[in-house]
Amino acid sequence: MASATFALIVVDVQNDFCPGGALAVKDGNKIIPPLNALIDAFTVSNLPVCFTRDWHPPDHCSFRENGGPWPSHCVRKSTGAEFHPDLRVPENALVVSKATEPDKEAYSGFQGTELSSTLKRMGVTELFVEGLATDYCVKNTVGDALEEGFLVNVLTDCVRGVNLKRTDSATALKWMKVRGAKERTSEGVLKVINRRAAVMSSS
């Protein structure tokens, strides 16, 4: 693990997915403090930090008025599409917009984007994924990352789910684990990153 080049992938921590938003995930804002600690640690260690976001056109196919399953949400350039104001987004962070075409859904940060090629060009081999929502965009981002050949860790204390069914998040985590993702906590990852930083500063 320590020999890999790491990247942090923060999935869709946007206003519309947090309490008060159009498609709010229960307690979605509660992952932000541990997320910020991770973002700070990765930034200080000069490790890539990537933020994915839904960036829908107003007539996106996922919206109920267009026959989709969801209320209108994360319409590009709207307040709802902005990252939560408490989330720390470094100036040099990689921001990936997805689901930008009216007739194409994209739960994954890798679908219809250049995220995979960008990370590989940066020498990244291992990802730490967290965000919203466990049972949709986190699950699909992790699944695609594994298919792209990355080692993938899901930070279980930094994800929350929609849970249309009560067990959806647990089922999604099991799905990711069966496909090869590792479950970790932010505290454990912080220890690894800080230890890595200490080794590099002393060398």
Q: Give tens-digit pLDDT for 146-190.
A: 999 999 999 999 999 999 999 999 999 999 999 999 999 999 999
**Mean of the per-residue pLDDT values for the chain?**
95
Mean pLDDT of 136-148: 98
Q: Look at residue 1 in the predicted model and tell me its pLDDT.
A: 36
Provide the token pair at 20.
């008060």
Total count of domains within the chain: 1
Look at the alpha carbons of 113, 114, 117, 119 in this order and tell me if their dihedral is positive or negative: negative
Residue 1 in domain = no
On whether the CB atoms of residues 80 and 16 are closer than 8 A, the answer is: yes
Residues 91-134: tens digit of each pLDDT: 999 999 999 999 999 999 999 999 999 999 999 999 999 999 99
SS3 assignment, position 75: strand
* Catalytic choice (18, 54, 98, 139): 98
Locate the DSSP E strands across 77-150: 94-98, 126-132
> Known catalytic residue: 137?
yes
Cβ neighbors of 92 (< 8 A, separation 6 or more) are none
Say which CATH number the domain at 48 has: 3.40.50.850
Q: Which helix (H) or strand (E) holds 42?
A: helix 32-44
Cβ neighbors of 1 (< 8 A, separation 6 or more) are 126, 192
> Known catalytic residue: 135?
no
**Radius of gyration, CA atoms only, the chain:** 16
Residue 25 in domain = yes
Q: Look at residue 161 in the predicted model and tell me its pLDDT.
A: 98
> Known catalytic residue: 157?
no
Higher per-residue pLDDT: 1 or 77: 77
* Catalytic choice (18, 50, 74, 137): 137
Q: Which domain holds residue 58?
A: 6-198
